[in-house]
Amino acid sequence: MIYKMFGKTGKMVSVIGMGGMRFKKEEYADGNLEKPAAIVLRAFEQGVNYFDTAPGYCDNTSERIYGEAFKTMKGKGTFHVSTKCGLWNAKNSSDTRRMIEKSLQTMGLEKLDFYNMWCAKTLEEYREFLKKDGIYEGALQAQREHLIDHICFTTHMSGEDIAKVANDGLYEGVTLGYNAVNFAYRQKGIEACHAAGLGVVIMNPLGGGIIPSNPDYFSFLKRGDDSLAVSALKFIISQDLATVAIPGYSSVAEVDENVKAAENLRPATKGYLEEMATHLTTELNALCTGCSYCDSCPVDIPIPKLLESYNNFILSKGNMTQVKNRLKNHWGIDGSLAATCTACGQCETLCTQKLPIIKRLAEIAAAY
């Protein structure tokens, strides 16, 4: 395993971490957490020391699964735990304090290493965390009392918006989705966060499983004998800008496969990144890259979010439910607003991929 410094925190974290949202329901539903906890333990044995979770993941069981594994891991080496608090489960600083205490209790910890303001989708939401007596203030107080070490945020904002807040000086790390499909869209934000000295945690490095399950689409990522998943992870963690990638694991075998990405890792060169970017406009030319060039709709349709979600329709070969889930769970928007498109055509003129945006919006609207 390779370890990198997490921003300016002084903590060394494994370049391959663990996300805690892909445990299989059938393995935890009966309350016996032994099987999913074994996945966490396997990751730890393989050198993973960054464990990310959140209240709510896996039907509120993810933190409990981690807690079960941590009982065995304590005293056997350093590991770092990251969890979260969102605007929907905390309205003020006292709520935040309650959430922190609950996470500590559930995982059997005395302190949380990284505490995240969870899922700022827009600049407005980002600022909501910072309001007087809000979540950030609650986290700050908990930090003074040594209940948490570092305050971070997770976000789905565009690279441009992330760049606007990277230098706030309020956070020590950021968690954001970054993979072979959206990397161009997020690049600016990641570069700004890295330059500002934040630790950069990469969630969704395999595009929610889309990359390994579409080998034809993503064959350009494959390197040598490495599997597509390992190649896709290497693409992320070989970049200086990324501190730790946190794929989720559903089995011990997936852990064993993913940690291979930290073997024989060579730093990404400028030429390699440019070559990958070229593939976005060739092999992936039917996909929205999330570049946001189209994002000035006169009737305020958030086109990049809708079109990025539509990628799931293409990659799943026609499953509109995946698009609806993406819109609801990832972006938090009601896809029926696609019906407000007046077909003025402005966005199609601006689209870097020359996508049939109006047609795709009509298909999304028809699904509601």
Q: Does 291 bind ligand SF4 (CB under 6 A)?
A: yes
DSSP-assigned beta bridge partners for residue 242: none
146 and 104 in contact (C-beta within 8 Å)? Answer: no
Q: Does 342 bind ligand SF4 (CB under 6 A)?
A: yes
Q: Does 41 bind ligand SF4 (CB under 6 A)?
A: no
Residue 312: exposed, middle, or buried by beta-carbon count in 10 A (0-12, 13-18, 19+)? Answer: buried
The one-letter code for the residue type at 320 is: M
Among 297, 315, 327, 337, binds ligand SF4 (CB under 6 A): 297
Q: Does 184 bind ligand SF4 (CB under 6 A)?
A: no
Least distance to ligand SF4 from the beta carbon of 246, Å? Answer: 25
Give the C-alpha separation, 368 to 365, whole Å: 6
Whichever of 9 and 155 has its CB closer to ligand SF4, that residue is 155
The one-letter code for the residue type at 24 is: K
User: Is the dihedral angle over the CA atoms 42, 221, 209, 188 positive or is it negative?
Assistant: positive
- What's the gap between Cα 341 and its chain centre? 29
83 and 106 in contact (C-beta within 8 Å)? Answer: no
Give the C-alpha separation, 38 to 23, whole Å: 11
**DSSP conformation class of 260:** G
Q: Does 5 bind ligand SF4 (CB under 6 A)?
A: no
- What's the gap between Cα 91 and its chain centre? 23
Among 111, 293, 332, 362, binds ligand SF4 (CB under 6 A): 293
Q: Does 352 bind ligand SF4 (CB under 6 A)?
A: yes
Query: What b/e readout covers 14-41, taking b as 16+ CB neighbours within 10 angstroms?
Result: bbbbbbbebbeeebbeeeebeebbbbbb
**DSSP conformation class of 170:** S
Among 73, 120, 192, 351, binds ligand SF4 (CB under 6 A): 351
Least distance to ligand SF4 from the beta carbon of 338, Å? Answer: 8
Whichever of 232 and 291 has its CB closer to ligand SF4, that residue is 291
Whichever of 15 and 180 has its CB closer to ligand SF4, that residue is 180
Q: Does 357 bind ligand SF4 (CB under 6 A)?
A: yes
Least distance to ligand SF4 from the beta carbon of 292, Å? Answer: 5
Q: Does 292 bind ligand SF4 (CB under 6 A)?
A: yes
* Piece in contact with ligand SF4 (CB under 6 A), picked from 37-45, 123-131, 157-165, 294-302: 294-302
Tokens representing 26 are: 């059938």
Among 151, 246, 347, 364, binds ligand SF4 (CB under 6 A): 347
Looking up tokens 């980002």 gives 126
Among 173, 302, 304, 335, binds ligand SF4 (CB under 6 A): 304
Give the C-alpha separation, 314 to 302, whole Å: 19
- Tell me the site size for ligand SF4, rule CB under 6 A: 29
279 phi and psi angles, rounded to 5 deg: -65, -25
* Piece in contact with ligand SF4 (CB under 6 A), picked from 231-239, 240-248, 318-326, 356-364: 356-364
Least distance to ligand SF4 from the beta carbon of 154, Å? Answer: 21
* Piece in contact with ligand SF4 (CB under 6 A), picked from 199-207, 227-235, 243-251, 283-291: 283-291
Residues that bind ligand SF4 (CB under 6 A): 288-294, 297-299, 301, 303-304, 307, 341-347, 350-353, 355, 357-358, 361
